[in-house]
Amino acid sequence: MQLKQIIEGALLAAGRPLTLDELADLFDLTDRPALEELAEAMQALRADCEGRGFEVREVASGYRLQVRQELAPWIARLWEEKPARYSRAMLETLAIIAYRQPITRGDIEEVRGVAVNPNIIRTLQERDWVRIVGHRDVPGRPELLATTRQFLDYFGLKGLDDLPSLAEIKDFEQVNPEMTLAIEPSEEATVEPSEHAAVEPSEDAAVDAAATPEDDGGEEELTASAPGETGESRLQ
């Protein structure tokens, strides 16, 4: 049996990204292929997927088979539930963390010009998109926040270097749903939250799977599509 076929079968069966080391562990020591051989077979599988409805995608956690993003409008109709919707406040907070990590909650408030609702940070942590990576060595030792590997996997990124540059992102509304991570320059206020910033309503942190837009303190809700949901659905 060809190595390429084994890799394809493993990626289909796993339902999650696999690294080359994990693929190598599928073999006995006597016939275990070198990582270079696995990499070559992976590239051959990628080439075989050209022109097909799915592709091999490398993300932070390894390689996975997934439906091509351009097919999302049709594939998404297989599921009745609507995609999760996140408020602009939550997506902007996630964007600031992604581009400026590690960062404290106070730093985020300085950028946005409003106090960050604790529910936003909690929701991002519950989704495993953000985690605490340390504490800043200042009075109060505020927590330092950074994105996770799960965040990269969800948005189809291999690493933080794959994030679009802020210069490429000018309009929050026109960003590709997979990259709904823009920060509008007009909203990067430098107002001290403790003196002038308004506290965001608790609804900002709500994840509305029913997708009924609500008044979010003037901030409309946006849909964050990603592989496995409404964008690039994984091939199960």
| pTM: predicted TM-score of the whole model, two decimal places | 0.56
For the residues 109-133, what does the mean pLDDT come to? 92
Domains 3-78 and 85-223 share a fold: yes
**Is pLDDT of 20 > 70?**
yes
Q: Tell me the C-alpha distance between 49 and 28, whole Å.
A: 28
Residue 231 confidence (pLDDT): 40
**Is pLDDT of 217 > 80?**
no
Q: What is 85-223's CATH topology?
A: Arc Repressor Mutant, subunit A (1.10.10)
The pLDDT tens digits of the residues spanning 27-61 come to: 998 889 999 999 999 999 999 999 999 999 999 88
CATH, domain range 3-78: 1.10.10.10
**Is pLDDT of 67 > 60?**
yes
Domain ranges of the chain: 3-78, 85-223
Q: Where are the alpha helices (DSSP H) in the chain?
A: 3-14, 20-24, 35-48, 72-75, 88-100, 105-112, 118-126, 149-154
The pLDDT tens digits of the residues spanning 157-174 come to: 888 888 887 666 554 444
CA distances from 96 to 14, 93, 107, 130, 211 (A): 33, 5, 9, 11, 24
Q: Tell me the C-alpha distance between 210 and 85, whole Å.
A: 8
